[in-house]
């Protein structure tokens, strides 16, 4: 018997809205200055209200925390700072009760040098299975030319070990030795770790840094065929023993190199779309849609069961590895005026500061995130426009405590402030007194309310997670326009026209919509019908950085509100019939229409 995950639909990840968070940063329950699972438990209602359907937890395993937990010292336990294994299980079950799936990390490329396997390996004789859990060499000339990833801290992919009297291989920090996938014991251990968490009911695993699993001399040691064999093996075991589970590939590669991580639908069901991300920022800054349409044109089709994971920001630097040299120069120039904002090959800033705290730009980027093909992944704190602290080391500036209210430590912890794992953001613009959940909940026009409404709206239409994408090509390149289309299994279909103005000035564009002649575009936030489409170019005007999501409906049907209105509203409408379209059109808050969980 296969063990089923919490979702009922095996393709649940296609309709998901994922929220990425670190338990350490979310809520501290016991006043030690470190977020923990009981704290997260107390914030699940918040996540449910926000409308996200899946929580991605950054690594929470025992670890010396020299790479924020990606340096694992024990795969099958919880770091005691965050609580116990049982605390984790309680959160997992409580998330499932709220119909939320839980995605965790399976970091299999490397461990911490404090992992007992590494400590044993150093002492074991060369050539023994214990030593061979990792990749060793007598010379640091093996695999010469393989690029270094953490360019700011590492000089080589090899580090000499005084105890073993050999070099060990590491693609990341020197305290993170790479596991040796040529040793069958490594795969056994990886599968044990997978089973440990999947048996408990975890719905998905993010496979960290998988392009680097297997090394082969004379290659870049990235994406080698043997690596794909290993991932297929993991997937096969998962499919044989579990149902409705997910593996998500972290492969920071060009689209053509990521494509093989989907296999024939027999590797990862999901993979991040890394190259799209910087190009959204580039298109915005250049006020030109080309960077986006260009990378999407280079994005290959993927098997029907597969899905892209798309994001604006995450816990790492905004990586600029998957852009050309010119594009990288431009991004550094446009988005990181202060050199402290840069790290490795990227920019360590959060969404709001990247766009100068401009609400319309934040909304525009989110509207793309929520309407492009794939599953959107939001980074904690970005829904309220949190800031960053570029004076913290490494990528820690974007990992500061969640800002819940204007009490001490932003409501994150009752500890004395000096004890917090990282200081809360304090500056006058992004500080917790200005930016916090409580204030934004009480403000109907806050970014938090806006985000919640957009998530709710997206979830009413499967087209966003499952539909096709086709770009229109209006002469005005400051306007990005695309059609999403989905044919459901039951003959029901959805067609949505998205139009976005990438410019800081108002724009007009003529769209060729002949194909949809006589249909009526209905603005989806307010359910407001626009003029019907004719055989002539369709004229559309947009405010600076504004966007429309327009459902194309047959003329007869338009417009039908998705959900019946309340009696009070009906009475209101009866009293003021003429105000109705006006009110609906100008009301950014659609909570009445879409929020009371429509599913
Ligand atoms: C992934 C993680 C990153 C980590 C690295 C090494 O890229 O996202 O945070 O430092 O792997 O484990
Ligand atoms: Ca704590």
| Mean pLDDT of the region 105-132 | 98
Residues 94 and 130 in one domain: no
Residue 238 lies in a domain: yes
186 and 177 Cβ atoms separated by less than 8 Å? no
Residue nearest to atom 4 of ligand 1 (CA): 70
Residue 2 lies in a domain: no
394: helix, coil or strand? coil
Tell me which residue has tokens 């073993």: 164
Residues 260 and 396 in one domain: yes
Q: What is the pLDDT of residues 232-264, one digit of tens each?
A: 999 999 999 999 999 999 999 999 999 999 999
Question: Minimal CA–CA distance to 202: which of 418, 311, 342, 54?
Answer: 54
Residues 150 and 61 in one domain: no
- How would residue 489 be classed by pLDDT, with cut points 50, 70 and 90? confident
Q: What is the CATH number of the domain that holds 132?
A: 3.90.400.10
**In the prediction, which pLDDT does 191 show?**
98
Q: What is the CATH number of the domain that holds 229?
A: 3.20.20.80
Domain hosting residue 565, numbered range: 467-575
Distance between CA atoms of 595 and 589, rounded to whole angstroms?
A: 10
Q: Which helix (H) or strand (E) holds 470?
A: strand 468-471
Residue nearest to atom 12 of ligand 1 (CA): 70
Residue nearest to atom 10 of ligand 1 (CA): 67
> What radius of gyration do the chain's Cα atoms show?
25
Residue nearest to atom 8 of ligand 1 (CA): 316
Residue 17 lies in a domain: yes
Q: For residue 31, give the ligand nearest its CA.
A: 2
Out of 67, 69, 157, 348, give the residue to mutate to test ligand 1, the one with the largest number of ligand atoms within 8 Å of its CB. 67
Residue 595 lies in a domain: no
Q: In the chain, what percentage of residues exceed pLDDT 70?
A: 93
**Ligand 2 centroid to 159 CA: how many Å?**
35
Q: Does the pLDDT at position 559 exceed 70? A: no
Residue 598 lies in a domain: no
CA 186-213-234 angle, to 5 degrees, is 60
Residues 316 and 238 in one domain: yes
Q: Which residues contact 337 (CB under 8 A, 6 or more apart)?
A: none
Distance between CA atoms of 458 and 53, rounded to whole angstroms?
A: 12
| Of 155-159, 195-199, 373-377, 568-572, the least confident | 568-572
38: helix, coil or strand? helix
Q: For residue 348, give the ligand nearest its CA.
A: 1
- Ligand 1: nearest atom to the Cα of 314: 8
**Ligand 1 centroid to 512 CA: how many Å?**
44
Question: Minimal CA–CA distance to 412: which of 11, 14, 46?
Answer: 46
Question: Minimal CA–CA distance to 356: which of 545, 125, 206, 562?
Answer: 545
Q: What is the pLDDT of residues 502-555, one digit of tens each?
A: 999 999 999 999 999 999 999 999 999 999 999 999 999 999 999 999 999 998
Ligand 1: list residues with CB < 6 Å.
67, 70, 107, 172, 208-209, 250, 315-316
Residue 581 lies in a domain: no
Distance between CA atoms of 451 and 370, rounded to whole angstroms?
A: 10
Out of 208, 248, 319, 394, give the residue to mutate to test ligand 1, the one with the largest number of ligand atoms within 8 Å of its CB. 208
Tell me which residue has tokens 């004719």: 534
Q: Which residues contact 84 (CB under 8 A, 6 or more apart)?
A: 37, 78
Residue nearest to atom 9 of ligand 1 (CA): 316
Q: What is the pLDDT of residues 287-329, one digit of tens each?
A: 999 999 999 999 999 999 999 999 999 999 999 999 999 999 9
Residues 311 and 437 in one domain: yes
Final residue before a domain boundary, out of 459, 488, 504: 459
Q: What is the DSSP string of 302-321?
A: --TT-EEEEES--SS-EE-T
How far apart are the two ends of the chain, measured CA to CA in Å?
30
Q: What is the pLDDT of residues 33-50, one digit of tens each?
A: 999 999 999 999 999 999
**Ligand 1 centroid to 118 CA: how many Å?**
19
Which residues partner with 18 through β-bridges?
54, 377
Final residue before a domain boundary, out of 409, 439, 459: 459
Write out the two tokens for 274.
Answer: 């890394």
Question: Residue 219 phi/psi, 5° resolution?
Answer: -120, 180
Strands 101-106 vs 54-57: parallel, antiparallel or unpaired: parallel
Residue 152 lies in a domain: yes
- Cα–Cα distances (Å) from 5 to 13, 92, 102, 189, in that order, read 12, 11, 10, 22
Residues 134 and 100 in one domain: no
Tell me the three-class secondary structure of 404-458, residue by residue: CCCCHHHHCCCCCHHHCCCCCCCCCCCCCCCCCHHHHHCCCCCHHHHHHHHHHHH
Residues 217 and 289 in one domain: yes
Residues 185 and 312 in one domain: yes
**Ligand 2 centroid to 403 CA: how many Å?**
16
Residue 208 annotated to the active site? yes
Final residue before a domain boundary, out of 459, 489, 521: 459
Residues 68 and 125 in one domain: no
- How would residue 558 be classed by pLDDT, with cut points 50, 70 and 90? low
Tell me which residue has tokens 């039951």: 490
Distance between CA atoms of 329 and 108, rounded to whole angstroms?
A: 33
The number of folded domains in the chain is 3
Residue 594 lies in a domain: no
**Ligand 1 centroid to 93 CA: how many Å?**
27
- How would residue 345 be classed by pLDDT, with cut points 50, 70 and 90? very high
Which residues partner with 106 through β-bridges?
207
**In the prediction, which pLDDT does 578 show?**
41
350 and 382 Cβ atoms separated by less than 8 Å? yes
Residues 286 and 432 in one domain: yes
Distance between CA atoms of 246 and 271, rounded to whole angstroms?
A: 11
In this predicted model, which residue has the larger pLDDT, 564 or 413?
Answer: 413
pTM: 0.93
- How would residue 561 be classed by pLDDT, with cut points 50, 70 and 90? low
Q: What is the pLDDT of residues 383-399, one digit of tens each?
A: 999 999 999 999 999 99
Residues 105 and 127 in one domain: no
Residue 569 annotated to the active site? no
180 and 132 Cβ atoms separated by less than 8 Å? yes
Residues 104 and 122 in one domain: no
User: What does the DSSP 8-state code read for residue 146?
Assistant: P
409 and 433 Cβ atoms separated by less than 8 Å? no
| Mean pLDDT of the region 175-194 | 98
**In the prediction, which pLDDT does 570 show?**
63
342: left (phi over 0), alpha (psi -120 to 50) or beta: beta
Distance between CA atoms of 239 and 474, rounded to whole angstroms?
A: 45
Q: What is the CATH number of the domain that holds 489?
A: 2.60.40.1180
Out of 105, 108, 209, 309, give the residue to mutate to test ligand 1, the one with the largest number of ligand atoms within 8 Å of its CB. 209
Q: Which residues contact 130 (CB under 8 A, 6 or more apart)?
A: 117, 120, 121, 123, 124
Question: Minimal CA–CA distance to 23: which of 52, 65, 76?
Answer: 65
Tell me the three-class secondary structure of 320-389, residue by residue: CCCCCHHHHHHHHHHHCCCHHHEECCEECCCHHHHCCCCHHHHHHHHHHHCCCCCEEEEECCCCCCCCCC
Distance between CA atoms of 21 and 377, rounded to whole angstroms?
A: 10
Catalytic residue among 36, 250, 382, 383: 250
């Amino acid at each position: 018997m296969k063990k089923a995950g919490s979702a009922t639909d095996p393709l649940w990840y296609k309709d998901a809205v994922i929220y990425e968070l670190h338990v350490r940063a979310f809520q501290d329950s016991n006043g030690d200055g470190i977020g923990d699972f009981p704290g997260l438990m107390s914030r699940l209602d918040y996540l449910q209200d926000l409308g996200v359907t899946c929580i991605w937890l950054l690594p929470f395993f025992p670890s010396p925390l020299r790479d924020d937990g990606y340096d694992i010292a024990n795969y099958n336990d919880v770091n005691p700072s965050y609580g116990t294994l049982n605390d984790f299980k309680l959160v997992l079950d409580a998330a499932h009760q709220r119909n939320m799936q839980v995605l965790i990390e399976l970091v299999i490329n490397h461990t911490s040098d404090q992992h007992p396997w590494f400590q044993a390996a150093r002492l074991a004789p060369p050539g023994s299975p214990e030593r061979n859990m990792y990749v060793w060499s007598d010379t640091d000339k093996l695999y010469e030319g393989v690029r270094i990833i953490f360019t700011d801290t590492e000089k080589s992919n090899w580090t000499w070990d005084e105890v073993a009297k050999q070099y060990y291989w590491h693609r990341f920090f020197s305290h993170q030795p790479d596991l040796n996938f040529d040793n069958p014991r490594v795969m056994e251990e990886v599968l044990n770790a997978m089973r440990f968490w999947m048996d408990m009911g975890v719905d998905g695993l993010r496979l960290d840094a998988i392009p680097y699993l297997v090394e082969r001399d004379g290659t870049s040691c990235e994406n080698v065929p043997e690596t794909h064999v290993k991932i297929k093996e993991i997937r096969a075991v998962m499919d044989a023993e579990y149902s409705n589970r997910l593996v998500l590939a972290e492969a920071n590669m060009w689209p053509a190199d990521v494509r093989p991580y989907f296999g024939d639908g027999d590797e990862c069901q999901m993979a991040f779309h890394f190259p799209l991300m910087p190009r959204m920022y580039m298109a915005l800054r250049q006020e030109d849609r080309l960077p986006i349409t260009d990378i999407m044109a280079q994005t290959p089709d993927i098997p029907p069961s597969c899905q892209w994971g798309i994001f604006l920001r995450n816990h790492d630097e905004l990586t600029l590895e998957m852009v050309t040299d010119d594009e990288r120069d431009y991004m550094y120039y446009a988005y990181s005026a202060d050199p402290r904002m840069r790290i490795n090959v990227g920019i360590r800033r959060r969404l709001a500061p990247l766009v100068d705290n401009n609400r319309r730009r934040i909304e525009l980027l989110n509207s793309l995130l929520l309407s492009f093909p794939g599953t959107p992944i939001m980074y904690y704190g970005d829904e309220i426009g949190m800031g960053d602290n570029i004076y913290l080391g490494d990528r820690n500036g974007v990992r500061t405590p969640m800002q819940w209210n204007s009490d001490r430590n932003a409501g994150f912890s009752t500890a004395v402030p000096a004890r917090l794992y990282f200081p809360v953001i304090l500056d006058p613009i992004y500080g917790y007194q200005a930016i916090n959940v409580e204030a934004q909940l009480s403000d109907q026009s806050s970014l938090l309310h806006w985000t919640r409404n957009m998530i709710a709206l997206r979830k009413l239409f499967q087209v966003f997670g499952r539909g096709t994408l086709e770009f229109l090509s209006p002469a005005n390149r400051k306007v990005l326009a695309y059609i999403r289309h989905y044919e459901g299994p039951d003959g029901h279909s959805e067609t949505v026209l998205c139009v976005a103005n990438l410019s800081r000035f108002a724009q007009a564009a003529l769209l060729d919509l002949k194909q949809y002649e006589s249909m009526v575009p209905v603005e989806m936030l307010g359910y407001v019908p626009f003029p019907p489409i004719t055989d002539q170019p369709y004229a559309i005007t947009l405010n600076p950085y504004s966007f429309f999501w327009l459902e194309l409906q047959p003329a007869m049907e338009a417009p039908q509100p998705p959900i019946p209105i309340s009696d009070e509203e009906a009475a209101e409408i009866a009293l003021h019939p003429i105000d109705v379209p006006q009110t609906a059109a100008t009301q950014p808050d659609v909570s009445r229409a879409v929020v009371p969980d429509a599913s």
